[in-house]
Structure 1
Amino acid sequence: MVAVLVRLKLALLRNTLTRSVWALVGLVLGGLYALGLVAAAYAGFVALRLSGSPELVSGVTVIGFSAVTLGWVLFSVLVSGIDETLSPARFALLPLSARRLQPGLFAAGLLGLPGLATTVVALGLVVVWSRSVGTAVAALVAVVLGVATCFLLSRLVTAALAELLSTRRFRDIAVVVLALSGAGIGIGVNVVADSFATGTSWTGLLGRVTDVVGWTPLGWAWALPAAVAEGAWLGAAARLLLAVGLVVLAWIGWGHFLQVRLTSPLEGQSGSGKVRGGAAVDRWFGATPRGAVAARSLRYWRRDPRHLANLAALVVLPVLVVVMQLTQDAPNELVVVFSPLLVAFLLGSVLAMELAYDGSALALHIHTGLRGSDDRLGRLMAAGTLVVPALVVISVACVAIAGRWDLLLAVLSMTLGAAVVIAGVSSWISVFWPGHAPPPGANPFGKGSSGGFEALLSFTVVTGISFVASLPVLAAGIGSLWIGWLQWVALLLAVGIGGVALWLGVRVGGRALDRRWPEVLRSVTALDA
């Protein structure tokens, strides 16, 4: 069974790559990027091996790899699993028990990108502790137990919370928590960097944190070679027994919940079935083809976790920038004032994925003979209903925090002008590179969530063209720092250039979509087959 599941995993990967050239190109580029990260990690391991003190080596390895273990658990909970290729629900109709499936699912799961990356980087622990045979052997044992702990704990937690994770309310909360976690990590890194820059001593704190983390379930395995290096044989034996016991218990617990999933597969809960405010939305956009597209898209923006994840990322970015500036001794008020521009330029990555989020449902537009211009305009109407008020609120808040009300008009002109230009350019470019997305109801951060290399290329082109087109608006807005009346010039340019970009995006993008409906449908459904 292990060999069968491993071959199935590899076959699914091979079929994905042969079906989409963009997936193959993205895998190659992603592999090169991963190799660069691994090379950097191993360079750090070698440096620790050659010149690091035992205390520093212990602190870096125990805390670092314990954080990796925690990351496996947290991200598995927040995003409902990283890889759903061999989901237990797919085997529910087969006469297979959890005991037969577990070894194969374990081996196949480690063949995914997170598993391979964790294993390769974890083997660096052997390099760091290769000063003696005893520590090297202990490090090798730690790698086996540590990687197994990462995988099994993540599977155990997600299996135990499977019913809760299937609800839309929890996924909505998870998106917010993930966004806030990202902001917290960024702020924490900034504070630590400032502390190092001011000469704060972390030696004593590092030792204390290492001692605490090494006696938690996250660090039992990873602290094993450090205990051997210190000659603390009793502590090393205790950690070994605890780490082995944790792996065994996690394996048993995962098997229990896996058996439950095989006999009682979960179904996603969609709520009460009532559509609140549905009639109001339909009246607001009107009984036209573009109005129908806008009303449907607006409902998706509210209910689809994939859209919610995008909104959370857009909102948390200026918050992160502002908070990081406020933690500085001398914050730069202009960085705070103009931070909403980052949201405007990242908007391209969201709008460029609109077609991909529909997946196979896009066929409805083709079958009903919907014009491409109505599709383009309807989606922009829905996005504008949410994004424009959000950009106004964020801009006003940033200006208020910085106390630069004299720049409010310039900030609004630059932010909204750039956003409208990007919306128009995205309406055209996304027809050629729509990207890929997880199917509706699936993990919003899972396979295909970022759209792959195709979406990356689309975002790059959209951002580049939009930046060039927005240069007059940006130049006038920045010039208003010295010449106040240029704010009004920025406003006029934003209206003019933005209006032209929006009109061209809808018209040109709509005509291109009329010609490319079959190609677009094939592209956005490539990962569903």
Structure 2
Amino acid sequence: MAVAMTMAAMKMAVLRNSMNSQKAGLVVAGAVLGLILAGGTIAVAFVGDPNVGSVTGWHTGDMLAAAYAVWMLGWIFGPVFIGGGDETLRPEYFTLVGLRPRRLAFGLLTASFIGVAPVVSLVALAALVVFGVRLGSAASVLIALPAMLLSLVVFVLLSRVATAVMGLALRSRVGAIAAGLSNGVILAALGQGWVFFVAFQQVGGIPPTASAILRYLPSGWGLLAVEAAAEGAWPRSAAALGAMCLLIVLLLGAWAALLTRRTSAARPSVRGRRPMTAASAQGAVVAKEMRTWTRDLVRNHQLTFALAYAVFFTSCMLFMGMNGLLPYTGAVFILMAGAMSANLYGTDGTVLWLTLMTPGASEVRGRQWAWLLTVGPVGLALTVAGAAITGGPWPLPLALTAALLGGGAGIVPLISVYALVPGIDPHRRGGNPLRSSEDDGSLTGLAYAVIGLGGLTGVPAGLVASSYGWPGVAVGIATGALCVWGLGALAESRLRSHGPELLQTMRTGKRAQSASARWKKFDDLPKRDQIIAIVGWSFGAIPLFPQGIVAGVMKANGTREKSWFLALHVPDPWAWPVVVFMVLLGITLYGGALWVSYRPRPREEALPAAAA
């Protein structure tokens, strides 16, 4: 216990001393969003029929079981988006201390409860108490209290074990691809959860089979214990709580074993490599990047994840008998591939010194060609296959694919050199390959920025294709080519003028400061601008994509299902104005965040910095 409390105190100290304005803003934004979701979960406990054994309509227990399954999956697969999960305290730090694996695992588990995510999840689990009150049984309320705590421990341990397993999987190509497929499918299902809600609504509630499956998941065992207590079935209630305790012991033992594997030295590969040849410096960059895309297991995972996410995201609506999103699978894949590779230079680490020491090497152009050759054929094939399956439309999907492909090839290197997040060199990634950077919040922001800016590059082609058909494809090709050339030129200019500073940033993890610097860091922004930036980056995607672009596509395709899309609920003359308003609102939020984050310093603010 002393070791566990010491590790908890260590984590609190690290968090307290490493907190700055940017991290604090991200923590606050995450806490607000998490509390909104937790409040929604508690609200679920107040609706529906709470009576045990009810088979008509929406049963409160069924909805809670579904909600807690989503929370559990979020804990398991959330680390894919946040760079390997919370590793304020890494197992490698304690390698030389000589702790036994179980003591190390228990100590790290105790430290894992220090943070916002466990508190938010505990608030969501409080819905068990509300459900017990609605059941009208004091026994069920008493059982709900330990069920809350045990469920939280199960969630945290499942997250840790899943992250450790994924880290081991990413040490082999087969494992990296399998992890990417599973993560992409499950996260796409979470993103399209409304589809399953509508499907269940059409049949009058969650079917009995699905209800039973949800309760047999570990996330539903606490609910089973509460329901059994309300029925007076104490052996079944005790069995559910006992099963949770047994699962915690097994997960703790599994995590201890996985920590041992993680902290042991990795076996180097001794397989021969075919020599790489190139006729020019740019050709060498292309060859190097193509080889990295095929050999770097993290990039294998990212590309597979983008593919699985896109395919499942657009095919989810088949559960409702609609296939209108299939032609846009390629566009979704391109956006997700761009988001996953947003920190292109930071992920490669200090290898940039090779380029800086090679005169005439066009690093940016080479990376653009490699990105296009890797993502382009897959995106185009998905678009053609989706349009062929549905019988069209053809112009709009092809126009968006061309525009987004060029936009991604231009935006990815540009944002990577302008907003580089210092990464961990590939040979120093340690036992958690998903951890490619020390700043998870900035990586998430880069991913959302690429999705938002990349989506904007497809707007002109999409509007023309929606109104005039095939000319939109020409516009998409033209805008894509313009983005590749223009944004690539800006990125190359930045790399040439600030290459040493970027290398210094990647080596030390700190941005080089100069007296002539004109751009403000986030920490230097006024509080008002920090709030604007956080709100814009966090919520700009909601009006831009689901309420704007997706709603517009559904309106153009004549979709009858309204779901939660505001534009489909208003009278017909106002539907398109609402779509346009939502798109403009999303652009405004992103644009405001971008402006306050990267606007030039006023001259009077730059003078004191130069004097200092």
Q: TM-score range by the shorter chain?
A: 0.7 to 0.9
Partner of 1:466: 457
Partner of 1:234: 235
Instruction: Name structure 1 gaps, 5 residues minimum.
Output: 482-486
- Paired with 1:144 and 1:6, the residues of 2 have a C-alpha distance of 18
Secondary structure of the residue that 2:417 maps to in structure 1?
Answer: coil
1:138 deviation in Å?
0.8
1:354 deviation in Å?
1.0
CA contact (8 A) 1:62 1:223 kept: no
CA contact (8 A) 2:310 2:329 kept: yes
Does the C-alpha gap of structure 1 residues 438 and 414 become closer, same or farther in structure 2, counting only changes over 3 Å? same
- Paired with 2:84 and 2:156, the residues of 1 have a C-alpha distance of 11
- Paired with 2:167 and 2:417, the residues of 1 have a C-alpha distance of 37
> If the length of structure 1 is used for normalisation, what is the TM-score?
0.78
1:128 deviation in Å?
2.9
Equivalent residues in 2 for 1:336-355, closer than 5 Å? 336-346=326-336, 348-355=338-345
- Paired with 1:429 and 1:237, the residues of 2 have a C-alpha distance of 54
1:92 deviation in Å?
1.7
- Paired with 2:145 and 2:287, the residues of 1 have a C-alpha distance of 57
Tell me the amino acid that sits aligned with residue 244 of structure 2: A
- Paired with 1:257 and 1:477, the residues of 2 have a C-alpha distance of 52
Partner of 2:108: 105
Does the C-alpha gap of structure 1 residues 233 and 513 become closer, same or farther in structure 2, counting only changes over 3 Å? same
Pick from 173, 177, 181 the counterpart of residue 178 of structure 2: 173
- Paired with 2:255 and 2:273, the residues of 1 have a C-alpha distance of 37
1:143 deviation in Å?
1.5
Same amino acid, percent of matched pairs: 23
2:470 matched to 1:478? no
- Paired with 1:315 and 1:41, the residues of 2 have a C-alpha distance of 31
Instruction: Name structure 2 gaps, 5 residues minimum.
Output: 54-58, 512-612
- Paired with 1:100 and 1:150, the residues of 2 have a C-alpha distance of 20
Pick from 303, 308, 315 the counterpart of residue 316 of structure 1: 308
- Paired with 1:153 and 1:320, the residues of 2 have a C-alpha distance of 24
Pick from 243, 266, 291 the counterpart of residue 299 of structure 1: 291
1:527 deviation in Å?
6.3
- Paired with 1:418 and 1:238, the residues of 2 have a C-alpha distance of 53
- Paired with 2:340 and 2:79, the residues of 1 have a C-alpha distance of 23
Does the C-alpha gap of structure 1 residues 523 and 60 become closer, same or farther in structure 2, counting only changes over 3 Å? farther
CA contact (8 A) 1:223 1:239 kept: yes
The C-alpha deviation readout for 1:501-523, integer Å capped at 9, x for no partner, is 32222222211222333543455
Secondary structure of the residue that 2:19 maps to in structure 1?
Answer: helix
Give the superposed CA RMSD. Answer: 3.9
CA contact (8 A) 2:215 2:224 kept: yes
- Paired with 1:11 and 1:352, the residues of 2 have a C-alpha distance of 31
1:142 deviation in Å?
0.8
Tell me the amino acid that sits aligned with residue 231 of structure 2: E
CA contact (8 A) 1:416 1:494 kept: yes
CA contact (8 A) 2:80 2:434 kept: no
2:464 matched to 1:452? no
1:395 deviation in Å?
2.3
1:329 deviation in Å?
3.9
The C-alpha deviation readout for 1:417-474, integer Å capped at 9, x for no partner, is 332134224443432223465653443378756743641564266336524xx61x33
CA contact (8 A) 1:81 1:158 kept: yes
- Paired with 1:187 and 1:178, the residues of 2 have a C-alpha distance of 14
Does the C-alpha gap of structure 1 residues 365 and 116 become closer, same or farther in structure 2, counting only changes over 3 Å? farther
Equivalent residues in 2 for 1:315-464, closer than 5 Å? 315-320=307-312, 322-329=314-321, 331-332=323-324, 335-346=325-336, 348-366=338-356, 368=357, 374-404=362-392, 408=394, 411-435=397-421, 440=426, 441=429, 442-444=432-434, 448=439, 451-452=442-443, 454-456=445-447, 458-459=449-450, 462-463=453-454
Does the C-alpha gap of structure 1 residues 177 and 240 become closer, same or farther in structure 2, counting only changes over 3 Å? closer
CA contact (8 A) 1:5 1:105 kept: yes
- Paired with 1:383 and 1:70, the residues of 2 have a C-alpha distance of 31
**Is 99-108 or 187-196 further displaced after alignment?**
187-196
Partner of 2:263: 265
Secondary structure of the residue that 1:434 maps to in structure 2?
Answer: coil
Secondary structure of the residue that 1:509 maps to in structure 2?
Answer: helix
CA contact (8 A) 1:352 1:434 kept: no
Secondary structure of the residue that 2:141 maps to in structure 1?
Answer: helix
1:310 deviation in Å?
3.3
Pick from 144, 162, 176 the counterpart of residue 139 of structure 1: 144
The C-alpha deviation readout for 1:328-381, integer Å capped at 9, x for no partner, is 44644xx44344333444554245321221133334444x2566x822111101
Tell me the amino acid that sits aligned with residue 509 of structure 1: A
Secondary structure of the residue that 1:443 maps to in structure 2?
Answer: coil
> If the length of structure 2 is used for normalisation, what is the TM-score?
0.69
